[in-house]
Homo-oligomer: A and B are copies of this chain.
Amino acid sequence: MSQLKAKFCAGLAVLALAGAAQAATPTPPKRAVGAAVQAPPLFAATLAKSKAFVDPQLRKTIDVPVPADAGGGYTHERHKDNYRLIYEAGMLYRQTGDKAYAELVRRVLLDYAKLYPSLPLHPKRANQVPGRLFWQVLNDSVWLVNSIQGYEAVMDAIPAADRATIEAGVFRPMAAFLSTGSPKTFDSIHNHGTWALAAVGMTGYAIGDQGLVKQALYGLDGSGKSGFYKQLEELFSPDGYYAEGPYYQRYALSPFLLLAQSIQRHDPSRKILDYRDGVLRKAVYATIQQSYGGLLFPINDAIKDKGLDTPELVHGVAVTYAATHDPALLSIVIQQGSVVLSPEGREVAAAVARGEAKPFPFASMELRDGAKGDKGALVILRSGPKAKDQALVFKATSQGMGHGHFDKLSWQFYDAGREVVTDYGAARFLNVEAKAGGRYLPENDSWAQQTVAHNTLVVDEKSQFGANTDTGEKHWPTILAFDAKDGVQMTAASIDDAWPGVRYRRAMALIDRPEVGRPIVLDLVRGEGGGRHRFDLPLHYEGQIVDSGLKFQGGTSELKPLGKADGYQHLWDRGRAPVKDGARVSWFNQGRFYDYVFASGDVDQVVLTELGADDPDYNLRNERAFILRGDDKDSFTLAGVLEPHGAYSAAEEYARDTISSVKAVERVSENGADLVFIRLNSGKSLAIGVAWDSDPAKRHQVKTPGGVYAWTGFSGLASLAQ
């Protein structure tokens, strides 16, 4: 750790040195252009892009309008453009030494200094906490976070009198407005609070106001019951997981990292990046780990095309690299394809140009949820570290507040670079004005958050916790296993409070054994208690169903919704096939074949569904699922195996491995323990025992007609007891 620290300080020293050198002898513009030309390619592209934005404005009058419009309107967009301009001009001054950039920052901020003191609360304030430049105070915080960085970068080139005017006219009153003026937001343990205290803290450091810094770090009352340290303790789990999931984690990271960077620069003795065992670094790594093929796992309310290339993570990776010099981060930079306009951005670009990148070690892991790590976990099982290796995501986390979905013990699966067992993400078309102004759609509540929209058990067609977020916040799963041995990566969890009286347990494994020769997924589901129920186990898939012997009826001449509420009203019933003791459902997608083979006396039928019913505004994508359904059962137990196989090239007209290896799945239970036989076409079998008992030393056995099988611990390869 001390070695990491030393490297980090070295990186900052370079930055400080550059600033000092510039203050003493400003580089003449001519030579600066030369420096820009010699920039490493990724950074040169960033410089060029930024200059294309800033340079045309160098000699223009920049409008600083009286705030009037809500989001999307002119004054809103203009103030956004202005903070980008202030930030980028500041960074360009640092990189080129061209005083024209500093001059631009100076005159724009002087205009703000004239405007700001007289501003009342924004005229378009609605049900959000209002700002003064913007309709919601969050945007004011973002304005300050950006502008103070631009200002700090050019301070040495602005006359003292102007600095006084700017600080008195804008930065001090704005910091006051965001702190003591908006105490509820500022002291909240919430993302909006992080932005506010980042703005105030960074301003404090830049203009030398330790009072602002103290408020930011310890809260308005200085007690530490709120403020940055408290947020670092409360908002991330010990493993760096953020309760809302990776989509919001990516967004939330920005202000954390920016303030941390500022603290590190001005107050390095705080060792802020080591705080709480380096939780901020862990949060960056955890976000990257929660991705596949460059896209974030779309759990909870998530826009599915958000990935590692978002500006927040481009920034986050650069800042983290400056602290750790971990060459694996450089391969993420290459994937991102761009760097930020800062010394840290230049540093990663240079390291990439020197060919120092190493593959990022994507790995199986348990990311514990909750400030203390005791509220369940997100478990990721990977078949290998490469981009096209398989990944199984098992969601046994806490609710995740208002953006959380009712999807405890659901799973997602990735294979061959693509999503296979899918999650709908959020019902929202971000920034598409014609779709509810780009906001969350009604179908986000009525479909996307509901249990049936996920790959998990549904009892009596009801969502978990009655689809009530407050109830959901009070309960979370218990992790029963996270373990790897003998080619079997196993995880399991239980939750007892999702439906009254129902105990729901699930074990999932990613198995890579020589008997099969390719990775397969084991899925073991148990629901029991609370009377007789309808049990539905949906699996949402991408692709086209192929014949696997099931005889589907209906869904060809008329479609009706599958149900009336809890998401079922959105599913068309596309046909049903009767089932006894298990079956096989097969589909294929882009050259890969998928067989889900299951054993269960509790499944009466397989129902095929297609999304799109009760959707008058055509807001839903028409995605497909199949549901394993058991009616009027005391309990529901199922053992399933998903086998991905096959390679298919349309260009070269070949199809290989189109036959599955798994012939059948059988389950035998005794004393609450399950033994699953995976029977292969080769004649071989795999026997996996799951005891549902976390004692690692305990021996378990199950009697079968072929003999007694035994294993040790929660689960294991079972063998015939002698």
Q: Which residues of A pack against B, CB within 8 Å?
A: 303, 305-307, 309-311, 429-435, 438, 544-548, 552, 556-561, 572, 574-575, 586, 588, 593, 608, 610, 612-619, 621-622, 624, 648, 650-655, 658
Contact = CB atoms under 8 A, between A and B. Distances in A.
Contacts of A624: 622
A558 B557 contact: no
Pairs of residues from A and B, 6 with the lowest C-beta to C-beta distance, nearest first:
A434-B546, A431-B655, A559-B559, A305-B650, A545-B618, A309-B651
B560 A558 contact: yes
Nearest to A656: B431
Nearest to A613: B556
Given A557-B561, A559-B572, A307 B614 contact: no
A412 B588 CA distance: 27
Contacts of A613: 556-557
Main secondary structure of the interface of A (DSSP, over half): loop
B557 A655 contact: no
A68 to B, nearest CB: 20
Nearest to A558: B560
Given A431-B655, A438-B655, A557-B613, A544 B618 contact: yes
A462 to B, nearest CB: 21
A655 B544 contact: no
Contacts of A586: 434
Nearest to A251: B653
14 contacts: A305-B651, A306-B650, A307-B651, A309-B651, A429-B588, A430-B650, A434-B547, A434-B548, A434-B586, A556-B616, A559-B559, A574-B612, A574-B618, A610-B622
A588 B658 contact: no
B572 A432 contact: no
B434 A651 contact: no
B618 A429 contact: no
A91 B430 CA distance: 55
Contacts of A557: 560-561, 613-614
A429 B648 CA distance: 11
Contact of A435 (B429, B546, B621, B650): B546
Contacts of A311: 651-652
A430 B655 CA distance: 9
Given A303-B650, A311-B652, A559-B572, 17 more contacts: A430-B650, A432-B648, A432-B658, A434-B546, A434-B588, A438-B655, A544-B619, A546-B618, A547-B617, A556-B614, A556-B615, A556-B616, A557-B561, A557-B614, A559-B559, A575-B616, A608-B618
B307 A546 contact: no
A9 B435 CA distance: 62
A337 to B, nearest CB: 10
A628 to B, nearest CB: 17
Kindly name the residue among A552, A557, A559, A614 whose own CB sees the greatest number of chain B CB atoms within 10 A.
A559
Nearest to A307: B651
Contact of A655 (B433, B648, B658): B433
B653 A430 contact: yes
A475 to B, nearest CB: 33
B556 A431 contact: no
Nearest to A434: B546
A303 B557 CA distance: 27
Contacts of A572: 559
A612 B557 CA distance: 10
A310 B547 CA distance: 29
B552 A616 contact: yes
A612 B306 CA distance: 30
Nearest to A588: B432
A268 to B, nearest CB: 32
A586 B429 CA distance: 15
